[in-house]
Structure 1
């Protein structure tokens, strides 16, 4: 596993932060932390990176305890609302970051050429940072984060301040990095970003992890049946598939994990003299799930 945490907790004088988070993240996946602003997402990343010390619990990254110095060489980090030196050119910024990683100058120069291509800034590297648009600044920030060719990349709200075009550009970079086999931990409060790029998602609220799973698992929706001549035999048969089904007149709603069960459900209705007028999956949106999980106060 790239990341493992066991009841990891970080609080400030018993308040804020996050509480008892246990999770594991596999190599090559995009894992997203989804939560409102102030939910504890950034504190969690900083604790994983060793910037903050946990209050309790433990964690491992790349098989080493949190804070291991050698492990940090294999990690890239794009903080939220970062600020770089406006008087430097894009190239100078990347070169200085390479020196901070203690890369040799020949490797830095070679890697900068690759990074500029990945983030789409070839031809703009000699411009001053102050001349960059918001989207270009975000992309040069990504360039700094991936300069050392890290195995694990942390992105904290990488698209929150961008317009739709800027968001797409950053998403495209995330897809490129995923294609290269990078493991990416994404913090965001933007539902659209999560749906488009994530392999797995954790919803965090008030410092606690409320749900975690693949998008398919989280958005697994119930089946709605419209049945003529609905009777007790039909309802009892359908309870074999979901003992907690909901009945409202001639409509029945039940949870079915596997679509391969749907023909069996239809057959059980017909065999018991029912008339199946409709069978459909209820549309389930991430926004609906998110609001149900964290509430509507402060949702952006």
Structure 2
């Protein structure tokens, strides 16, 4: 495992932070922490990268205890709402980061060229950062995070301040890195980002994990049907596929975990003279699950 934690806890005067988190992250997966602002997501990442000392529990990164220098050399980290020296050019920023990593200068120049290509900033590297758009600033930040060609990448809310185009650029970079075999730990409160890039998800609320699993495990969506001439006989036959189906106004919701029975459901409706106007998977299941898990109240 790339990340392993055992009852890992970080509290500030016995409050805030997170508590008793046990999880594992496999090599090559995108693992997302989903939670409202203030849920403890950033504190968890800062603890994993060694910026904060845990209050209790233990954790291992790339097989080494949290804070191990050798493990840190193989990690990249993009903080939330980072600020870099605005008077530097993009190239200068990357070069200085490379020196902090103690990279060979010749190797560093080649790597900077590669990174600029990955983050889509070739041709803009000699502009000062204060001339960059928000999206470009976020991408140069990603460039700093991947400069050392890390095995493990921590991204803390990498798209929260961006417009849809900027979010897509960052998302494309994440998927490219995933395809290269990188392991990515992503913090976000944006449901759409989780659905589009994640292999597994943990929902965090008030510092505790409430649910964890693959997206399929967490949000297998019900089948929604709209049926005309919906007789009791039709309902009776549909219950053979889902005894707990629900009729909500003019629609029927069924939980079907084997798509091979869907044609049989349609056949059953038609042969009993029903009119099948619509059959589709319910949308926004992750949003529904998230709200049920963490509630709708605003953070104080």
| TM score, norm. by length of structure 2 | 0.86
Partner of 1:136: 136
CA distance in 2, matches of 1:14, 1:38: 15
CA distance in 2, matches of 1:36, 1:232: 40
Deviations 1:124-168 (A, max 9, x none): 111111221111111111110000000010110111111222112
Which structure 2 residues correspond to residues 1-300 of structure 1 after superposition, within 5 A? 1-223=1-223, 228-230=231-233, 238=240, 245-246=244-245, 248=247, 253-262=253-262, 280=279, 282-285=281-284, 286-298=286-298
Q: Is the 8 A contact 1:90 1:128 kept in 2?
A: yes
Q: Is the 8 A contact 2:223 2:282 kept in 1?
A: no
Q: Is the 8 A contact 2:115 2:147 kept in 1?
A: yes
Deviations 1:157-189 (A, max 9, x none): 111111222112111211221121111111111
CA distance in 2, matches of 1:247, 1:8: 41
| TM score, norm. by length of structure 1 | 0.86
Q: Is the 8 A contact 2:157 2:187 kept in 1?
A: yes
Deviates more, 1:72-81 or 1:126-135: 126-135
Deviates more, 1:52-61 or 1:275-284: 275-284
Q: 1:219 Cα shift?
A: 1.8
Q: 1:234 Cα shift?
A: 5.8
Q: Is the 8 A contact 1:266 1:276 kept in 2?
A: no
What is the aligned length? 292
Q: Is the 8 A contact 1:234 1:274 kept in 2?
A: no
Cα gap change, 1:98 to 1:260, in 2 (>3 Å): same
Deviations 1:192-212 (A, max 9, x none): 211221122211111111122
Q: Is the 8 A contact 1:229 1:274 kept in 2?
A: no
CA distance in 2, matches of 1:247, 1:163: 38
**2:117 partner SS:** helix
Q: Is the 8 A contact 2:234 2:274 kept in 1?
A: no
Cα gap change, 1:64 to 1:277, in 2 (>3 Å): farther
CA distance in 2, matches of 1:38, 1:207: 9
